[in-house]
Amino acid sequence: MKRLDDLSQLATRETADDIDARRLRYVFNLSTIVGGLVLIFFAFRQLGSEDHRLQLVLIAAAAGVWATFLYVRTTQQVVIGVRIASALVALLSLALVYTGGLENTGLYWVFPLLFIQFIYLGALPGLVVSTLILTATGTLLVNSDAIPASYSYAEMSRAMAALLTLMILAAISEFYRQRSQVDLSTRHTDQVIEAVTDPLTGLTNRRFLDGFFYPECRRQESSHFPLAVITCDIDNFKAINDKHGHQRGDEVLVQVSTLLRESLRGSDVVSRVGGEEFLIMAQRAKRKSAADIAEKLRQRIENLEIEGLPEGISASFGVVVADHYSELKAALLNADQNLYRAKNEGRNRVVADQ
């Protein structure tokens, strides 16, 4: 199970989380840059006005969103940036309702600003923040005599009803968007796991090595190297199949796979890379311990008791240690050559580079 957890982490890393984080980053960048420009545009349109309150609000909001944009550019803290932007947008919404905005159109601008809360925060936090904004807006409108803006009763009641409807629709839409994204990501993860898992033994396969493990070795060189590359091949497997049948042969493969998996550390990678051939990658292993690991495995396979196979089985091993990622390709070839030598020298043995 642990193996599958590791795989699922690897499989999801490039998909759901990253794609959604990218979506949020794009929306944040676009909304803060364009939003700031729109605010400045309206602030300039207010130049002639005697009341400078709205102008100040618009300029302060533009400065705030641009500063948040710069903060995210330098720190890469998109989630914090989005929360700050959400707070600024909430304050701007209330300031527009309070001042009345340009020619008393403040209430209309609350619509897009409320919608942005859902894009920034998602369904539930968006609902909480927009409920607070609507409550505060309602409070200001109930006390409309005490605020500079002047709205008619019909305008206020229609705006509140429409805002409430928008909030509910936006929450439902965002909720289902998030849910379908989780569904898609789970489906994708399942497909990736299936593609990189050998169906007979449950071990990882060559696709896992090529698609995930080797790239990970390149990215995180220090946590993988020195890397012991151990090739393992069951001896005379064709004879086992011929004598005991293909099904018994399959059982041998399953038992050897379980033995390999259980004999190694959770961080070691065990893959079935051919019919009766396995590739083991022991991370941060020393030259001597790599050969010892292979020898331990050889002995355990030799002592494995398999029902209906009284003569038992054996396996040959080729071992090489790669100190750096640049040596990995050559190490894989050399490990194969060592395995070939082990077969030629009589099988049931370990051949390791000194």
Ligand X SMILES: Nc1nc2c(ncn2[C@@H]2O[C@H](COP(=O)(O)OP(=O)(O)OP(=O)(O)O)[C@@H](O)[C@H]2O)c(=O)[nH]1
Q: Which residues bind ligand X (CB under 6 A)?
A: 200, 233-239, 241, 246, 249-250, 253, 275-276, 343, 347
CB of 272 to ligand X, least distance (A): 9
CB nearer to ligand X: pick between 238 and 286: 238
CB nearer to ligand X: pick between 99 and 316: 316
Nearest position to ligand X, beta carbon: 275
CB of 23 to ligand X, least distance (A): 43
CB nearer to ligand X: pick between 121 and 270: 270
CB nearer to ligand X: pick between 313 and 320: 313
CB nearer to ligand X: pick between 253 and 285: 253
CB of 198 to ligand X, least distance (A): 9
CB nearer to ligand X: pick between 195 and 239: 239
CB of 341 to ligand X, least distance (A): 12
CB of 249 to ligand X, least distance (A): 3
Q: What does the H/E/C string look like for the chain?
A: CHHHHHHHHHHHHCCHHHHHHHHHHHHHHHHHHHHHHHHHHHHHHCCCCCCCHHHHHHHHHHHHHHHHHHHHHHHCCHHHHHHHHHHHHHHHHHHHHHHCCHHHCHHHHHHHHHHHHHHHHCHHHHHHHHHHHHHHHHHHHHCHHHCCCCCCHHHHHHHHHHHHHHHHHHHHHHHHHHHHHHHHHHHHHHHHHHHCECCCCCCECHHHHHHHHHHHHHHCHHHHCCEEEEEEEECCHHHHHHHHCHHHHHHHHHHHHHHHHHHCCCCCEEEECCCCEEEEEECCCCHHHHHHHHHHHHHHHHCCCCCCCCCCCCEEEEEEEECCHHHHHHHHHHHHHHHHHHHHCCCCCEEECC
CB of 232 to ligand X, least distance (A): 11
